[in-house]
Chain A
Amino acid sequence: MTLEHLPSAAPSLARLIQELNKLPGIGPKSAQRLAYFIIRLPEEEAFDLAAAITAVKQTIMFCGQCQNLTDASPCSICASSQRNREQICVVEEPLDVLALERTHCYRGLYHVLHGVLSPLNGVGPDQIKLRELFARLSDGAVKEVVIATNPTLEGEATAMYISRHLAGGNVKVTHLARGLPVGGSLEYTDELTLSRAFQGRQAVE
């Protein structure tokens, strides 16, 4: 059953299905199932869900420094006096920051790219937060950039682009150790493997 077959008497339902259908990984059928689930929810639970979405949109922003999602800029990591301000770890997505924080082995700052270079999909340096990264390095305060993009073809291409851009400068560029499963993602990597990869990080020549 597709959207066209919905009873026209329920335009609000059609609208909900249409909106859910826009979510990643949600096809028309799943959108319909979710919509019916929401309809059967007790009223206050459904309103809580709506309120949570509203609250997140009203309070969450990009941290002006690390570009992570936060409810205050600078975020708690960037604002913390406990963090080593000479190190920046570059990751693809906000979830990667959470994965690395769970290892408790890194005390520096982060930079979230919100994507990777993807020549096949027309994603170039200007479409991810690379310019913001290079701007953070311009005053010389940062001594080491740890590249922690995923060990995929595009993650590696992004890593090569960053190290090429920083080559010959005063910033030491390191890369998480191999041993992370090729093609995998930080998000799905267990903490032990991840902390080992961190400790074994290597300089990029």
Chain B
Amino acid sequence: MPPQRTYRADALVLRSVPLGEADLLVTLFTRESGKVRAVAKGARRSTAKLVGHLEPLTVTRLALSRGRSLDVINQAETLENFTPLKTNLTAVTRGLQVAELVDGFGSEASPNEPLHSLALSTLAAIGQAPDDELPLLHFQLHLLAVSGLMPELQNCVECRRDIEPDRHRYSADGGGVFCPDCTPDQAGLRPLSLRALKVLRLLARSRAADLPSLRLEPVLTQELKAILTGTVQYWLDKEIRTNSFLNHLAQDQTRRQIPR
């Protein structure tokens, strides 16, 4: 039996770019079948009803038809707009990083339901606490977990012995923490503070919907960011593009807080 010509899907819109005169090319992450690229015909004309439901960072219920190269979106209806997230500049940029990484780690025609749920609960968490760094850090760690790339945080990757307090190093390409006796050849072995290791273990156990309330010192946040960004970028095998604007916003924020 040939596959059906039309189908329905609930999807997070990751990206939408103009195509031709008035069409939109939309990258979707569906619960049912992973990443899908589809076209919305005529969507950019103001009379088109589709366009508002196809903005990035919107969960939308779609009716699609299979096409030869791209599927075609016939109907779209917003299920969740993440409005709190979209009214804060830093929050929306973090949300776009979620979209960028789901796009990078999700694959076409192969569903990853845990990643879909993780993305949605992360966007909600960012919207609820727009000034908190934790939801995005949590997302990065769990993104690795649901992609089968979770770094080892309990035992030495090499000899499997328990990690002694404060005597460990971390390597993204080595796959996690190392004891002082094991020095693998891989480059990128870096120190990891005990506090950062503890936060990582705590984040690994937490769900996005109820993150612990932690007041992280800036130094510790920086360390966690460096480790997680480094690991995600290692597997992504390219730069995380949204980071440059996020860093710009953070610097801008700091400049404003220091009185002249």
Contacts and interface: CB of A to CB of B under 8 A. Distances in A.
Interface of A: 25, 117, 119-122, 124-125, 152-153, 156-157, 160-161, 164, 180-185, 188-190, 193
Given A153-B92, A183-B53, 8 more contacts: A25-B19, A117-B245, A120-B99, A120-B100, A120-B241, A160-B88, A160-B89, A184-B46
Contact of A188 (B46, B55, B56, B244): B46
Query: Interface size for chain B: under 10, 10 to 19, 20 to 34, or 35 or more residues?
Result: 20 to 34
B32 to A, nearest CB: 24
B99 A157 contact: no
B244 A181 contact: no
B215 interface: no
Interface string B104-145: 000000000000000000000000000000000000000000
A120 B15 contact: yes
Given A121-B241, A153-B92, A182 B46 contact: no
Contact of B57 (A25, A125, A153, A164): A153
Contacts of A181: 46, 51-52
A188 B241 contact: no
B192 interface: no
Interface string B1-41: 00000000000000100011110000000000000000000
A183 B55 contact: yes
A113 B97 CA distance: 24
A119 B96 contact: yes
Contacts of B46: 180-181, 184-185, 188-190, 193
